[in-house]
C-alpha cells in the first residue's frame, strides 16, 4: 500500500510537464462545470424569489363572520401549495384597491361606501412548479362555502411557470450535457497521460510486473489528479466568486437578492465526480494497454 | 523426438516446430530445439535471422503463431494471463534495444525489477542494486537518466537489470554489441558467474570472437530456420 | 505548399489515436461553448419577449381634440426608446379598466358616465436596457402640454430591468470565462499533441530540417484540428438542437417563444476561434521545442 | 598549432581545446585535433570515453562548453540558429541509437532527409531512396516501421538515411555494432564508396577487427581526453 503511494508520487514527479498540462485541463473542466452549477442555482433562486409575490385573493361571502373567516383561513392553510393565509378586512382591501388605481383613485370617491367584501390573502409556497396546481388550488378554495370569489393573476402566472419550467428543464439538460462533456474531457486527458506512458508501462510489464503492480499506482494517480483538479476548479470558482461578488453587491443590482456559492454538498459531489471520472478514464484506457 | 526421462527432466526449454510470423513475414519457421537446465547456449545468425524474435517468444513479448513450446515447465500456448508475470520474473532479459525507462534513473530502472518481484526492504534493494551497478562499472552513473548515458553505459545498465532478480534463465540479446573489449569481458564474467550459480544462459550474438572464446553450444538461424553449420546438434 | 499539406495529412494518419482523442476533446470543448451561447442567446430572447408588454399610458387633458392628440402621438414617436404610439379613446380605456377589475367591475356600474380621459398608449422598444431611460421618457412625456398624467408599472419595470441586466452581465462574464477556459483546454490539447511528438520533431531537426519545415505542417494540423473540432462541436450542438426542439415545441411550453439556433455569424466566429486557438496553442508550445 | 596555408585550406574539421561537460560530468576535455577533407578517421576508446559526445558536437546536437571548433568553415560557437540546418544537411550521421522515427516507414525515414533538403521531385526521391535501401539490403522492408525491424535492420536503415543526402561529411557512430560480418562488410563498402566520392568519413568503434582491417588514422579517447597510444598523431 505504501509502495503504491510512493510509486504514484514518483510518477507525479517524473511526468511533471504532462501531468501539469493535464491537471490544468482538469481544473478548467471542473471550473466550467461548477460555474455552470453556480449560475443555474442562482438563476433558479432568483426566479423563485420573483415568485414570492404570487398570491390568491379569496373574497368571502358578505355574511361571513370574522370567526368563520379565521376557521376558513386555518382550513385553507392545510391545502397543498399554500404557504400563509391572512385575513384582510374590507377596509384594508379598499385602501389597497385605491392604491392600485393610482391616479384614477378619484373614481372610487364617487362610490357610496365600500363595496368590497372581506377577503383572505393566500400566499403560495415558493417551491410550486406548475400553473395547474395553482388552478386546482383556486378551484378548491372557490368550492368552500365561505368563499364568494377567487382572484389571481392566472394568465401571468401560467406564463411565469411556463418560462420557469423551460428554464429548469434547459438548465437540467445543459448541466447534464456539460457534465458529460467535461467527463469525457477529463477521461480523455487520462487517456493521453496513459498513452504517453505506454512504453514505460510496456517495459514494466516485460520485466515481470503483474497487472496490480501497474494498475494501482495509475489508479491512484488518476484519482489524485481528479481530486486536485476538482479542488483546483472549485477553488478557482470560489476565488472568482469572492473577487466578483462585492462589486456586484455594491452595484445595487442585487439589493433584493443574495448570490450564493454552490452548496457544500454539490461542491463535494463535483470533486468526487472529478476523482471518479479520472479514475474511470484511467480504468478503461488501461484495459487497452494490458491486453498482452 | 526420443528422449529419455532424465533428459526430459533436465529440459528447461523445449521448442517443437515453433513458427512465428508477422502478417506475411516469417520471422521463425518450424524451429525445434531443447535447452537443458544450466546450459550455456549461443544463438547466432545474420541480421534478421530471427534471434531476437526467439528471445521475445521466450519471455512472451510475442506469442508464437504455431508449434509447441515449454519454458520452465509452462506451456507457452496455454499460459494464462496471471501466469505471465510469474514466468517473466524467472527470466532476466538483456534487450538488444536496452528498453530502459527514460525518466527513471539507472538505479531506479534496476531496482524496479526487485520492486516488481515483491521485495519490500528498501535497504536490501539498495544494497543489491548497488553491488550490481558496481560490477558493471556504473556506480558513478546510478543517478543518471538513460538518455544521458553512452551506448555502452545503457547496455551495462540493461545487463545489471537482467541480473538483479537472480533469474533462473538469462536471455542476453547481443549483450556486448555496444561494449569495448574490457567491458565486454566484465559482462561475460557476470554471465559466467550466473551460470556457475546454476542459471541457464542464452546469448545471441554475431560476434565471432565471442563464439570462438567459448566452448559452448550454438544454434544457427538463417531466415528464421535452423541451419546447423557447425557445433550445433539437431534438436 | 503542397508539401506542407501532404506532410500534415501524413501526420494525421500517423498519429490517429492521439489526434483522435484530442479532436474528441476539442469537439466537446467547442460543444460546451456553443451550447452556452445557444442558452444565453435564447434566454436573452425570452426575457426580451417578456419585455414586449412594457408600455406607458399618457392620459391627455380633457380639452384635447383628436387632431391635437394625433400630433402629440407623432411627436412622442420620435422620442428615444419609443416603439409605437396609439391613440386610445376614453371609451376603449373604460372597457379596459372594466376588464382589469374583473369580478369587481360592478363597482364601475355605480359610476355616472365615464370619468376617464382619452389616452395615448406608448409601447417601448425591446432593446431598452434600463429603468432610468424609461423614467426620463415618462418625464418628457409628462412635460408635454397635451398630457395630463402618465402611468406605467415603474416598480415592476425597474425590478425587471435589474434582473435582466444582472442576467446579461452574468451571461457575459460566464460566456467569457467558459470561452477562456475552453481556449486553454484546446491549447493544452495542442501542447500534449506536440509533447507526444517531441522525439519525432527532434529527429527531424537533427537531420537538417529548418524551423519552417517543422512548423508549417504543425500549424496546419493545429488549425485543421481546431477547424474540425469547431465543425464537430457546433455540428453536434445542431444535431442536438434538431433532435430536442420538436419535443419541446409540442410540449406547449414554447407556444409564445421560438428557440433559435446560434446565429450563423456566431457559429463561424466559434469555429474560427477554435482554429485560432488550436494554432496559438501550437505556436506557443512549438517555440519551446525549437530552442536548439 | 602551426600549419601551412595549404593544410589550413584542406581542413574540414578543426578542434582546439574543446571541452564539453554536463553539469559536473566532463564528457570531453581539452580536445584538439584536425581532420582534413576526404579523410577517413576512426575514433575509438572505451565505453563512456566521449566518442558519441564528439559526434554530437560536430552535428550540433550539443553545444560545446569551451574551446574553439570549426566544421566545414563554420565556427561552431558563433553559428546562428538559421545556419544550423544548413550545416546539418552537409553532414550525414549514423546514430548509435539509430534515431529512426517510429511511426514512419523505413522508406519515409530515409526520404525525409531529402525532403528536408528541399528535393521536390517525388520520383527522384523514390529512386534514390530505393537504390540505397537496395544497397543496405532493406528493399523488402521499405514499408516496415522501425519498431518491427531487427536491430541490424534498424542500423542499416540508419546507414541508408545518413548516406541518402550525399553529405560532405559522414559521422558514423558504431555503424556496425548490431551487424553480422557480411552486413558489416556491406556497410563499410558503402562508406568506402562515399569516401572515394570525396566525402570525409569519421567512424567511432571499439571493434578491433574493424580498426585492424583499415589502414586509417585513429583518434583514441579515454575519459574525454585524447590518449594517443598507437597510430595517432597529436593534433
Ligand atoms: N513486430 C514485427 N512485425 C513485423 N516484422 C517483424 C516484427 N518483429 C520482427 N520482424 C521481422 O522478423 C525478422 C527477424 O527479426 P529479429 O529481430 O528476430 O532478427 P534478429 O535475428 O534479431 O536480427 P538482428 O541480428 O539484426 O538483431 C526481421 O526481418 C524483422 O523485420
Ligand atoms: N546529456 C548528458 N548528460 C550527462 N552526461 C552525459 C550526457 N551525455 C553524455 N554524458 C556522459 O558523458 C560520457 C561520454 O558519453 P559518450 O556517449 O560520448 O560516450 P561514448 O564514448 O560514446 O561511449 P559508448 O562507447 O559507450 O557509446 C558518459 O559518461 C556519459 O554518461
Ligand atoms: Mg536482434
Ligand atoms: Mg557512444
pLDDT in tens, A236-259: 999 988 987 776 665 454 555 677
Contact A185 C149 (CB under 8 A): no
Task: Kindly state whether B97 is in contact with chain D, defined as any CB-CB distance less than 8 angstroms.
Answer: yes
Mutant choice from B152, B205, B220 vs D, greatest count of D C-beta within 10 A: B152
Specify the DSSP class assigned to residue D82: T
Cell of A150: 377567487
Q: Is D105 in the pocket of ligand 2 (CB under 6 A)?
A: no
Expressed in angstroms and rounded, the spacing between residue D158 Cα and the centre of ligand 4 is: 15
- Could you say which of A17, A28, A253 has the minimum Cβ distance to residue C181? A28
Residue numbers in A near B116 (CB within 8 A)? 204, 207-209, 213
Residues surrounding ion ligand 3 at CB below 5 Å: B 51-52, 96; D 150-151
Q: Residue C170, class by beta-carbon neighbours within 10 Å (0-12 exposed, 13-18 middle, 19+ buried)?
A: buried
Chain C: closest CA distance from residue D161 (Å): 9
Is the CB of D152 within 6 Å of ligand 1?
A: yes
Q: D100 CA to middle of ligand 3, Å?
A: 16
Contact D46 B152 (CB under 8 A): yes
Q: What pLDDT does residue C33 have? A: 87
Burial degree of A63 (CB within 10 A; 0-12, 13-18, 19+): exposed
Task: Kindly report the protein residue whose alpha carbon is nearest to atom 26 of ligand 2.
Answer: B152
**Rounded distance, CA A200 to CA B104, Å?**
10
D48 lines ligand 2 (CB under 6 A): yes
Supply the DSSP string of C60-116, one letter for each residue.
EPTT--HHHHHHHHHHHHTSTTEEEEEEE-HHHHHHHHHHHHGGGGHHHHTSSS--P
Burial B83-104 (b: 16+ CB within 10 A, else e): ebbebbbbbbbbbbbbbbbebb
Alpha-carbon radius of gyration of chain A: 30
- CA B191 – CA B138 distance, rounded (Å): 17
Q: Which residues of B189-207 are buried (b: 16+ CB within 10 A; e: fewer)?
A: ebbeebbeeebbbbbbbbb
Residues of D in contact with C7 (CB under 8 A): 115
Say what the pLDDT of residue A181 is: 84
Phi and psi at C34, nearest 5°, equal -75, -30
Kindly list the residues from chain D whose CB atom is less than 8 angstroms away from the CB atom of residue C5.
none
Check pocket membership of B27 for ligand 1, CB cut-off 6 A: yes
Nearest CA in chain C to A98: C101
**Per-residue model confidence (pLDDT) at position A205:** 93
- Indicate the pLDDT class of residue C156, thresholds 50, 70 and 90: low
The CA R_g of chain D, rounded to the nearest whole Å, is: 18
Q: What are phi and psi of D58, to 5 degrees?
A: -65, -40
Q: Do D152 and B46 touch (CB under 8 A)?
A: yes
Residue C248 has pLDDT above 70, yes or no: no
- Which candidate from D47, D156, D181 shows the least CB-CB separation from B153? D47
Tens of pLDDT along C28-53? 989 988 988 888 888 777 777 766 66
Residues (pLDDT < 70) of chain A are 1, 50-54, 97-113, 115, 126-129, 155-156, 159, 247-257, 291-292
Cβ–ligand 2 distance for D51 under 6 Å, the answer: yes
Pairing between strand B91-94 and B169-173? parallel
- Closest by CA to C59, choosing from C144, C179, C133, C180, is C144
DSSP state of B84: H
The reply to whether ligand 2 has any atom less than 6 angstroms from the CB of B179 is no
Q: What percent of chain C has pLDDT over 70?
A: 84
pLDDT (0 to 100) of residue C101: 59
Q: Say if D161 is an interface residue toward chain C (CB within 8 Å).
A: yes
Q: Return contacts of A94-99, CB within 8 angstroms, 24+ apart.
A: A97/C104
Strands (E), B132-197: 169-173
Cα separation, D166 vs A136, whole angstroms = 92
pLDDT tens digits in sequence order for chain B, 235 residues long: 445 566 667 899 999 999 999 998 999 999 999 999 999 999 999 999 999 999 999 999 999 999 999 999 999 999 998 899 999 999 999 999 999 999 999 999 999 999 999 998 999 999 999 999 999 999 999 999 999 999 999 999 999 999 999 999 999 999 999 999 999 999 999 999 999 999 999 999 988 888 888 888 999 999 999 997 544 444 3
Q: Which residue of A has its CA nearest to C161?
A: A253
- Series of mean pLDDT values for 10-residue runs along chain D (235 residues): 64 95 93 95 94 96 95 93 93 96 95 93 95 95 95 96 96 94 93 95 89 88 83 41
| DSSP H or E stretch at residue D127 | helix D122-136
Class of domain B36-63+79-227: alpha beta
Q: Chain B contacts of D155, Cβ < 8 Å?
A: 47
Percentage of chain A exceeding pLDDT 90: 17
Interface partners of chain D (CB pairs < 8 Å, 3 or more) are B, C
Residue B95: CB partners within 8 Å, gap ≥ 6? B158, B173
The Å distance, Cα B50 to ligand 3 centre, comes to 7
In whole angstroms, give the CA distance from residue C134 to residue C152.
Answer: 9
Within 8 A of A15 by CB-CB distance, chain B residues are 103
User: Mind spelling out the 3-state secondary structure of A229-263?
Assistant: HHHHHHHHHHHHHHHHHHHHHHCCCCCCCCCCCCC
Q: Is B48 in the pocket of ligand 1 (CB under 6 A)?
A: yes
For chain A, give every domain's residue range. 2-49+160-289, 55-152
User: Where are chain D's structural domains?
Assistant: 36-63+79-227
Ligand 1 close to Cβ of residue D3 (< 6 A): no
Out of B24, B43, B50, mutate this one to test ligand 1's pocket (max ligand atoms within 8 Å of CB): namely: B50
> Closest residue (by CA) to atom 3 of ligand 2?
B148
DSSP letters for A91-140? HHHHHHHHHHHGGGGHHHHTSSS--PPPEEEEEE-TT---HHHHHHHHHH
Cα distance between residue A96 and residue A106, in whole Å? 14
Give the model's confidence band at C103: pLDDT under 50 very low, under 70 low, under 90 confident, else very high: low
Cβ of B130 below 6 Å from ligand 1: no
Q: In this complex, do B93 and A200 lie within 8 Å of one another by their Cβ atoms?
A: no
Chain C interface includes D116 (CB < 8 A): yes
Mutate to test the interface with D, among B62, B133, B158, B180 (most CBs of D within 10 A): B180
Nearest CA to CA, how far is A252 from chain C (Å)?
9
Residue B154: all three cell numbers together: 545503457
* Cβ atoms within 10 Å of A177's Cβ, excluding its own: 18
Predicted confidence (pLDDT) per residue in A112-145, tens digit: 667 677 888 888 876 666 777 778 888 888 888 8
How large is the average pLDDT for residues C187-209?
88
From the CA of D154, which ligand is nearest? 1
Q: What is the dihedral of CA A106, A110, A111, A114, to 10 degrees?
A: 40
Chain D hits for B212, CB-CB cut-off 8 Å, are none
Instruction: Out of C3, C207, C292, name the one closest to residue D88 (CB).
Output: C207
Q: How many CB atoms lie within 10 A of CB A20?
A: 13
- CB-based contact D113 C14, cutoff 8 Å: no
- Assign a CATH topology to domain A55-152: Alpha-Beta Plaits (3.30.70)
Q: Does any CB of chain B come closer than 8 Å to the CB of residue D22? A: yes
Ligand closest to Cα of D157 equals 1
Is C117 strand, coil or helix?
coil
| ipTM field | 0.86
Amino acid at each position: 500500500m505504501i509502495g503504491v503511494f510512493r510509486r504514484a508520487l514518483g510518477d507525479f514527479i517524473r511526468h511533471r510537464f504532462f501531468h501539469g498540462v493535464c491537471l490544468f485541463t482538469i481544473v478548467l473542466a471542473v471550473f466550467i462545470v461548477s460555474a455552470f452549477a453556480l449560475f443555474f442555482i442562482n438563476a433558479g433562486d432568483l426566479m423563485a424569489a420573483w415568485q414570492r409575490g404570487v398570491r390568491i385573493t379569496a373574497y368571502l361571502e358578505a355574511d361571513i363572520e370574522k370567526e368563520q373567516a379565521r376557521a376558513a383561513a386555518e382550513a385553507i392553510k392545510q391545502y397543498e401549495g399554500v404557504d400563509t393565509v391572512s385575513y384582510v378586512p374590507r377596509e384594508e382591501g379598499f385602501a389597497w384597491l385605491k392604491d392600485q388605481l393610482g391616479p384614477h383613485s378619484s373614481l372610487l370617491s364617487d362610490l357610496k361606501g365600500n363595496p368590497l367584501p372581506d377577503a383572505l390573502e393566500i400566499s403560495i409556497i415558493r417551491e410550486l412548479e406548475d400553473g395547474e396546481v395553482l388552478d386546482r388550488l383556486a378551484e378548491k378554495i372557490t368550492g368552500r362555502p365561505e368563499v364568494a370569489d377567487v382572484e389571481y393573476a392566472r394568465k401571468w402566472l401560467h406564463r411565469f411557470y411556463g418560462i420557469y419550467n423551460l428554464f429548469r428543464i434547459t438548465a437540467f439538460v445543459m448541466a447534464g450535457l456539460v457534465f458529460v462533456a467535461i467527463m469525457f474531457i477529463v477521461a480523455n486527458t487520462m487517456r493521453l497521460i496513459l498513452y504517453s506512458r505506454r512504453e514505460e508501462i510496456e517495459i514494466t510489464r516485460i520485466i515481470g510486473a503483474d497487472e496490480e503492480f501497474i494498475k494501482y499506482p495509475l489508479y491512484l494517480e488518476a484519482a489524485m489528479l481528479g481530486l486536485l483538479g476538482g479542488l483546483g476548479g472549485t477553488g478557482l470558482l470560489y476565488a472568482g466568486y469572492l473577487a466578483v461578488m462585492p462589486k456586484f453587491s455594491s452595484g445595487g443590482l442585487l439589493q433584493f437578492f443574495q448570490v450564493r456559492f454552490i452548496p457544500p454538498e454539490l461542491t463535494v459531489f463535483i470533486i468526487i465526480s472529478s476523482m471518479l471520472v479520472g479514475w474511470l478514464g484511467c480504468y478503461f484506457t488501461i484495459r487497452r494497454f494490458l491486453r498482452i | 523426438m526420443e528422449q529419455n526421462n532424465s533428459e526430459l527432466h533436465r529440459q528447461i526449454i523445449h521448442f517443437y516446430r515453433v513458427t512465428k510470423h508477422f502478417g506475411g513475414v516469417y520471422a521463425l519457421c518450424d524451429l525445434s530445439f531443447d535447452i537443458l537446465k544450466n546450459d550455456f547456449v549461443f544463438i547466432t545468425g545474420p541480421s534478421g535471422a530471427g534471434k531476437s524474435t526467439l528471445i521475445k517468444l521466450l519471455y512472451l513479448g510475442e506469442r508464437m503463431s504455431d508449434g509447441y513450446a515449454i519454458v520452465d515447465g509452462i506451456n507457452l500456448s496455454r499460459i494464462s494471463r496471471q501466469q505471465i508475470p510469474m514466468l517473466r520474473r524467472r527470466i532476466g532479459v538483456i534487450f538488444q534495444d536496452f528498453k530502459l525507462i527514460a525518466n527513471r534513473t539507472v538505479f531506479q530502472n534496476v531496482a524496479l525489477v526487485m520492486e516488481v518481484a515483491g521485495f519490500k526492504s528498501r535497504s536490501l534493494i539498495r544494497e543489491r542494486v548497488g553491488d550490481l551497478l558496481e560490477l558493471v562499472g556504473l556506480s558513478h552513473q546510478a543517478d543518471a537518466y538513460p538518455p544521458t548515458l553512452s551506448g555502452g553505459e545503457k547496455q551495462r545498465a540493461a545487463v545489471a537489470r537482467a541480473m538483479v532478480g537472480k533469474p533462473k534463465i538469462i536471455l542476453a540479446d547481443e549483450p556486448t554489441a555496444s561494449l569495448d573489449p574490457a567491458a565486454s569481458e566484465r559482462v561475460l564474467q557476470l554471465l559466467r558467474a550466473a551460470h556457475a550459480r546454476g542459471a541457464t544462459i542464452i546469448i545471441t550474438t554475431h560476434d565471432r570472437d565471442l563464439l570462438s572464446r567459448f566452448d559452448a553450444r550454438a544454434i544457427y538461424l538463417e531466415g528464421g530456420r535452423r541451419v546447423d553449420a557447425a557445433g550445433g546438434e539437431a534438436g
